[in-house]
């Protein structure tokens, strides 16, 4: 037997799959060739190391509830995708007497009907809607100024709440939990908030709205860091956001602002200009 | 359904251990073993009976595991687990007293063995675990993976050679003369 042939038989020999003839020739070659004997020995040692591998047993509870879990998985799968089952009754839900083309015709008719109804009713009603909108905008000068101030403040409240939720979620996320899709979503939200911040900063012009404008400006810096964050930066995102938030005490300021808003701005049941004037005094 | 239940009960441990050996993760193996039986249930009509039942079951198991190993979900989980020591099996070696050094050493061996297995290609790993840990004859492995027996032998040879390279530093410790 040549060394090459002998090496080809290493695997069969190790796992007892050598025939009698090959087995005898293999043993004979190993006894006369130290190089092959040494290589075979090395392979044996490696496999002995592999035999020391320990494997994790699942808990007893896993085996005890194995069938129940499997059965419930299969049931829930059946509910979510009824067509996957092989029951012919489930697949033949279309009555055999109606030809397939009839469904296509019905769909076209439905679309046409929808377009007709839309053109007939919605287009005619549009001018009325516009008129009503104009009436509400015109109003009296004081009313409209108050209404727009209220709207901006409501938007600011929502803006602060959204930012707060985003930042708290980020700062409190356990290490390693944030995934790429999470990051992409958080960056998308922060970009939206940055756009909104631009608008709010130009709209919050009153003197008593200065602190709110300042807070939105501070938040914008942190949100920009988040929006432009890249994994390649090296600094973990959570650390970056934490630094920004802590430096300007942003969460504290948002809480203060929310408490202030609760105390000074009229609630939904008391949204009248008079009440608002009183609260300012 | 009763017949299917019997079938599950009789093969669930085998399926679990193959899934475990292919993924190296207990939780993955638990989930995959159940997914395998769901697949089996849906494909029972396709079982022609010209292969052994066990070969057919192992084929579904190996394919499910290989699909999972290729999936992006698995890659993400792998990244997360790289730093976690959780998931390593408990050290149970009753023949030797468990000193802190022994525990550390044993853990290191486990880590290195798993790492060496991870370095194998999916095909090499499948062939190796089916032969070495599940004692399947080469012919049955060939049927399971739908490849020629010679190909299986070649994968097995390459797998062992690569394990030899990965675990070379342990060989002296286990008795080989330098």
**What is the predicted pLDDT for the residue at A133?**
41
**What burial letters (b/e) apply to B9-28, b meaning 16+ CB within 10 Å?**
eebbeebbbbbbbbbbbbeb
Tell me, yes or no, if B150 comes closer than 8 A to chain A by beta carbon: no
d(CA B51, CA B146): 11
Q: Give the three-class secondary structure for A1.
A: coil
Average pLDDT (A111-140) is 60
Flag whether residue A21 sits within 8 Å of chain B, measured between CB atoms.
no
- In angstroms, the CA A53 to CA B167 distance is 13
Closest residue in A to B25 (Cα–Cα): A56
Counting residues of chain A whose pLDDT is more than 90, the rounded percentage is 5
Of A212, A219, A279, the C-alpha closest to A248 is A219
State the count of interchain CB pairs (< 8 A) between A and B. Answer: 93
Residues in Cβ contact with A15 at an 8 Å cutoff, skipping those fewer than 6 apart: B131, B138
pLDDT at B90 over 80: no
Q: Which of A1-10, A202-211, A214-223, B119-128 has the least mean pLDDT?
A: A202-211
Across residues B134-147, what is the average pLDDT? 92
Q: Mind telling me how many Å the CA of B78 is from chain A's nearest CA?
A: 12
With an 8 Å Cβ cutoff, are B38 and A74 in contact?
Answer: yes
Q: Within an 8 Å CB–CB cutoff, is residue B105 touching chain A?
A: no
Taking an 8 Å cut-off on Cβ atoms, the answer to whether B171 and A49 are in contact is: yes
pLDDT for res A275: 42
Shortest distance between the Cα of B146 and any Cα of chain A, in A, equals 20
pLDDT number for residue B99: 66
pLDDT band at B141 (very low <50, low <70, confident <90, very high): very high
The answer to whether the CB of A240 falls within 8 A of the CB of A225 is yes
Provide DSSP, B18-42: HHHHHH--HHHHHHHHHHHHHHHHH
* Per-residue confidence (pLDDT) for residue B36, from 0 to 100: 92
Contact A46 B171 (CB under 8 A): yes
pLDDT at position B131 is 95
Helices A273-280 and A141-171: crossing angle in degrees, nearest 10, is 70
Find the mean pLDDT for residues B146-163.
92
Q: Does B14 contact chain A (CB < 8 Å)?
A: no
Written as six digits, the tokens of A150 are 């209220």
Residue in this structure with the two tokens 């020999």, named with its chain if needed: A13
**Testing the interface with B: which of A11, A12, A71, A87 to mutate, by most B Cβ within 10 A?**
A11
Q: A136 exposed, middle or buried (CB, 10 Å; 0-12, 13-18, 19+)?
A: exposed
Q: Which long-range contacts (CB under 8 A, 24 or more apart) does A150-158 make?
A: A150/A265, A150/A271, A150/A276, A152/A200, A152/A203, A152/A204, A153/A209, A153/A212, A153/A261, A153/A265, A155/A196, A155/A200, A156/A200, A156/A204, A156/A212, A156/A216, A157/A258, A157/A261
Judged by CB atoms closer than 8 Å, whether chains meet at A70 and B156 is answered as no
Query: Dmax over Cα atoms in chain A, in whole Å?
Result: 111
Contacts of residue B163, defined as CB under 8 A and 6 or more positions apart, other chains included, come to A46, A47, A50, B116, B117, B120, B128
| Gap between the Cα atoms of B7 and A212, Å rounded | 68
Q: How many CA atoms lie within 13 A of A50 on its CB side?
A: 25
Q: What does chain A come to in residues?
A: 281
Average the pLDDT over B24-36 and give the result: 90
- Asked if the Cβ–Cβ distance from A66 to B12 is below 8 Å, we say yes
**DSSP assigned state of A121:** I
Reported confidence tier of residue A63, pLDDT bands at 50, 70, 90: confident
B77 touches chain A (CB under 8 A): no
Residues A143 and A136: their CA atoms lie apart, in Å, by: 10
CA separation for the pair A132, A127 (Å, rounded)? 9
C-alpha Rg value of chain B to the nearest Å: 18
Give the dihedral sign, CA A29/A31/A36/A39.
Answer: positive
Contacts of B132 in chain A (CB under 8 A): 47, 50
Distance CA A250, CA A219 (A): 7
**Chain B interface includes A181 (CB < 8 A):** no
Q: Measured between CB atoms, which of B9, B89, B132 is closest to A56?
A: B89
Mean pLDDT of chain A: 73
User: Which residue of chain B has the CA closest to A14?
Assistant: B132
pLDDT of residue A190: 83
CA distance B50 to chain A (A): 22
For the ranges A83-92, A175-184, B119-128, the maximum mean pLDDT occurs at: B119-128
Convert the pLDDT of each residue in A22-32 to its tens digit.
Answer: 888 999 999 99
Residue A86 pLDDT > 50, yes or no? no
Does the distance separating the beta carbons of B138 and A17 come in below 8 Å? yes
pLDDT at B173 over 90: no
- pLDDT band, residue B155 (cuts 50/70/90): very high
pLDDT of residue A209: 79
Return the pLDDT at B133. Answer: 94
- Per-residue model confidence (pLDDT) at position B14: 93
Token pair of A108, please? Answer: 């076209």
Q: Identify the band that residue A232 occupies on the pLDDT scale cut at 50, 70 and 90.
A: low
Are B58 and B36 spatial neighbours (Cβ–Cβ below 8 Å)?
Answer: no
The count of residues in chain B is 178
- Tell me the pLDDT tens digit for each residue of A156-174: 888 888 888 888 877 776 6
Distance CA A208, CA A198 (A): 19
Tell how far CA A126 is from the center of its chain: 38
Q: Which of A93-97, A247-251, B75-79, B96-100 has the highest mean pLDDT?
A: A247-251
CA angle, residues B75, B112, B147, in degrees to nearest 5 = 60
Work out the pLDDT band at B120, boundaries 50, 70, 90: very high
| Weakest-pLDDT range from B11-20, B105-114, B154-163 | B105-114
B4 contacts chain A (CB < 8 A): no
A15/B160 Cβ within 8 A: no
Interchain CB contact of B7 with A (< 8 Å): no
- Mutation for testing the B interface, residue in A5, A58, A73 having most B CBs under 10 Å: A58
pLDDT winner (highest mean) among A26-30, A129-133, B75-79, B88-92: A26-30
pLDDT tier at A235, thresholds 50, 70, 90: low
Q: Is the pLDDT of residue A128 over 60?
A: no
Contact A56 B80 (CB under 8 A): no
Residue in A52, A70, A177 to test binding to B, most B beta-carbons within 10 Å: A70
Q: Would the CB atoms of A54 and B92 count as touching at under 8 Å?
A: yes
Q: ipTM score of the complex?
A: 0.82
pLDDT (tens digit per residue) in A1-13: 888 889 888 888 9
Q: Indicate the range of A23-37, A119-133, B56-70, B126-140 predicted with least confidence.
A: A119-133
Share of chain B above pLDDT 70, in %: 74
């Amino acid at each position: 037997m040549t060394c090459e042939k002998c090496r080809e038989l290493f695997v069969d020999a190790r796992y007892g799959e050598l025939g009698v003839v090959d087995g005898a020739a293999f043993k004979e070659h190993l006894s006369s060739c130290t190089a092959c004997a040494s290589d075979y020995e090395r392979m044996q040692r490696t496999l002995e190391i592999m035999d020391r591998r320990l494997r994790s047993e699942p808990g007893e509870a896993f085996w005890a509830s194995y069938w129940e879990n499997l059965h419930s998985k299969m049931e829930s799968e059946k509910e979510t995708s009824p067509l996957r089952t092989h029951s012919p009754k489930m697949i033949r839900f279309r009555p055999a007497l109606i030809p397939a083309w009839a469904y296509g015709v019905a769909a076209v008719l439905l679309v046409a009907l929808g377009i007709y109804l839309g053109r007939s009713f919605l287009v005619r009603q549009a001018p009325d809607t516009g008129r009503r909108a104009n009436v509400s905008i015109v109003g009296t000068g004081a009313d409209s100024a108050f209404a727009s101030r209220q709207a901006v403040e409501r938007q600011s409240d929502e803006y602060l709440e959204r930012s707060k939720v985003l930042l708290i979620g980020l700062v409190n996320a356990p290490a390693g939990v944030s995934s790429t899709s999470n990051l992409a979503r958080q960056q998308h939200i922060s970009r939206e908030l940055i756009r909104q911040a631009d608008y709010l900063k130009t709209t919050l012009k009153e003197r008593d709205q200065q602190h709110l404008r300042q807070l939105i400006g501070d938040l914008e810096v942190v949100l920009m860091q988040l929006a432009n964050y890249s994994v390649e930066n090296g600094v973990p995102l959570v650390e970056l956001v934490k630094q920004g938030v802590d430096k300007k005490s942003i969460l504290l300021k948002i809480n203060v602002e929310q408490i202030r808003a609760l105390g000074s701005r009229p609630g939904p049941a008391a949204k009248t200009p008079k009440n608002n004037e009183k609260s300012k005094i | 359904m009763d017949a299917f239940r019997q079938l599950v009960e009789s093969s669930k441990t085998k399926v679990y251990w193959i899934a475990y050996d292919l993924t190296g993760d207990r939780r993955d193996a638990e989930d995959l073993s159940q997914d395998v039986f769901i697949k089996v249930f849906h494909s029972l009509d396709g079982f022609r009976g010209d292969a052994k039942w066990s070969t057919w079951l192992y084929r579904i198991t190996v394919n499910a595991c290989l699909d999972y190993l290729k999936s992006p979900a698995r890659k993400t989980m792998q990244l997360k687990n790289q730093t976690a020591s959780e998931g390593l099996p408990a050290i149970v070696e009753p023949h030797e007293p468990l000193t802190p050094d022994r525990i550390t050493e044993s853990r290191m061996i486990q880590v290195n063995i798993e790492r060496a297995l991870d370095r194998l290609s999916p095909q090499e790993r499948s062939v190796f675990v089916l032969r070495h840990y599940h004692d399947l004859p080469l012919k049955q492995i060939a049927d399971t993976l739908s490849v020629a027996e010679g190909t299986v032998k070649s994968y097995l040879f390459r797998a062992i050679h690569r394990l030899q390279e990965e675990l070379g530093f342990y060989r002296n410790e286990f008795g080989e003369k330098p």
